[in-house]
Homo-oligomer: A and B are copies of this chain.
């Protein structure tokens, strides 16, 4: 990171500010992304007679989130073992 005319302290504060904004957005953004992906996998229709999620769809959504987390953790572990 090259920002020669900011002093050290300002740079750190700026970074902290951007990191905090980022973290706040990150959790929301992850949940929105998972919802979108698992929606595509699990929710087949949205008709006017059917505006509740049924038990099959619910189980699929829960499994989908858990498989997503499993996969992420598996990838992280395998990347660490490589290095």
Contact = CB atoms under 8 A, between A and B. Distances in A.
Contact of A20 (B1, B14, B24): B1
A6 interface: yes
Q: How many subunits of this chain does the assembly comprise?
A: 3
Contacts of A13: 3, 5-6
A74 interface: no
A17 B14 contact: yes
Interface string A33-45: 0000000000000
Given A1-B17, A3-B17, 12 more contacts: A1-B20, A1-B21, A1-B24, A2-B20, A3-B13, A3-B16, A3-B20, A5-B9, A5-B13, A6-B13, A6-B17, A14-B17
